[in-house]
């Protein structure tokens, strides 16, 4: 706020805070990811990050590690320290009591009911406050939390793997494997960081996926299956997982007997009124938000992807393109969107292209 002249050291310490914050990706919901670095006399005296909702916030972890050395130090943190009581006491009060000299933050709290209050308390206590360093990086880090706290909806990423000509399977439905091993490994990391993955029942019937995270110390997201007529086989692998984190979303008119059979396997069945013959995305996302889900990844096929795009439910796309061509009889990655003129196309922005093994990963925001 007061000083927009950032030094290279300022940037170094705040980037370190961001890296610390990302260590807890997928673990902090419904809280944001936050990292903290305490510096005094040009030396780092302590660091910390918020590991899981209900645990100490990043700045408290750093303060406890620093002890008496925290007095007179500068705190680098990617998000404004909280000023209210939640599961834990307000961090702004702890910083004041510890004798912190200065706080350098990437951004203020996005909650319109809270934002800025923590900074004001610190300034009233005589602590110098500088805000806005690497703000875009900090906002991207917590883009899911920002949407959740301002709109009460999860952030939605659409992930697809296709050939260069936009096909996700051959004419027979064979899709193993279009994407490279590196790309598939990245998808497991994305599942590790997502709170929920969503797919359609057609994908479950065709591929029988587990939708689990298979990396060391990874954790499984909620598995959400869109199945308006409850066609999912009771033998489906995702219904046989021991974690009971499967949700089958269906219509009010689907079979009660089948629903009870699914629930007997440990899954949840959500009944939602259809719109235009399909399950409305807004209703799904609101129910997921009520469970504290901040980050959703769609891993569906062409039908699920098209419906999400038509309903404007997608915030970000991740398209993995493999170095192969499957031809016009292959299965398209996105079904019809009803676009009759080029000007009606769904625009994307902040496009980024990078390699993923032998594949090319295109990411963009809608």
Enter the DSSP assignment of 55: S
Residue 340 has a CB neighbour count (10 Å cut-off) of: 7
Q: Residue 216: which residues within 8 A CB-CB, separation 6 or more? A: none
CA angle 145, 146, 147 (to 5 degrees): 95
Judged by DSSP in three states, 265 sits in coil
By C-alpha distance, which of 115, 178, 159, 93 is closest to 295?
159
By C-alpha distance, which of 80, 92, 193 is closest to 135?
80
Put residue 244 in one of left, alpha, beta given phi > 0 → left and psi -120 to 50 → alpha.
left
Report d(CA 137, CA 113) in Å as an integer. 23
Catalytic positions: 59
Judged by DSSP in three states, 323 sits in coil
Sheet holding 43-49, edge to edge: 43-49, 35-40, 74-77, 102-105, 128-131
Report d(CA 16, CA 37) in Å as an integer. 7
Q: How many CA atoms lie within 13 A of 350 on its CB side?
A: 9
Enter the DSSP assignment of 199: E
């Amino acid at each position: 706020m007061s000083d927009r002249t950032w030094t290279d050291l300022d940037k170094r310490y705040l980037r370190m805070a961001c890296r610390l914050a990302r260590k807890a990706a997928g673990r902090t919901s419904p809280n944001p990811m936050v990292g903290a670095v305490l510096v005094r006399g040009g030396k780092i005296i302590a660091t910390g990050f918020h590991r899981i909702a209900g645990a100490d916030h990043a700045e408290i972890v750093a303060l406890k590690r620093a002890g008496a050395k925290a007095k007179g130090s500068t705190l680098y943190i990617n998000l404004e320290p909280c000023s209210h009581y939640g599961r834990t006491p307000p961090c702004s009060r702890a910083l004041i009591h510890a004798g912190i000299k200065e706080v350098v933050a990437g951004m203020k709290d996005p909650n319109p009911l809270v934002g800025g209050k923590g900074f004001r308390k610190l300034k009233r206590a005589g602590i110098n406050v500088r805000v806005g360093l690497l703000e875009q990086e900090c906002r991207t880090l917590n883009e899911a939390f920002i949407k959740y706290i301002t709109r009460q909806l999860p952030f939605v990423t659409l992930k697809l793997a296709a050939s260069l000509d936009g096909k996700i399977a051959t004419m027979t439905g064979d899709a193993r494997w279009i994407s490279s091993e590196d790309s598939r490994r990245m998808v497991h990391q994305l599942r590790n960081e997502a709170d929920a993955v969503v797919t359609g029942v057609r994908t479950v019937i065709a591929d029988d996926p587990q939708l689990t995270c298979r990396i060391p110390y990874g954790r499984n997201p909620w598995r959400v299956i869109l199945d308006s007529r409850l066609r999912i086989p009771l033998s489906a692998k995702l219904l046989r997982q021991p974690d009971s984190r499967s949700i089958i979303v269906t219509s009010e008119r689907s079979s009660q007997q089948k629903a009870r059979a699914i629930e007997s396997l440990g899954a949840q069945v959500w009944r939602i009124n259809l719109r235009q013959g399909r399950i409305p995305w807004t209703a799904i996302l609101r129910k997921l938000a009520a469970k504290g889900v901040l980050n959703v990844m769609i891993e569906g096929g062409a039908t699920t992807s098209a419906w999400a795009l038509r309903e404007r439910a997608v915030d970000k796309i991740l398209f993995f393109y493999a170095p192969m061509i499957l031809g016009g009889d292959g299965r398209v990655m996105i079904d019809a969107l009803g676009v009759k003129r080029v000007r009606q196309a769904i625009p994307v922005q902040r496009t980024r292209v990078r390699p993923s093994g032998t594949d090319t990963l295109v990411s963009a925001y809608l």
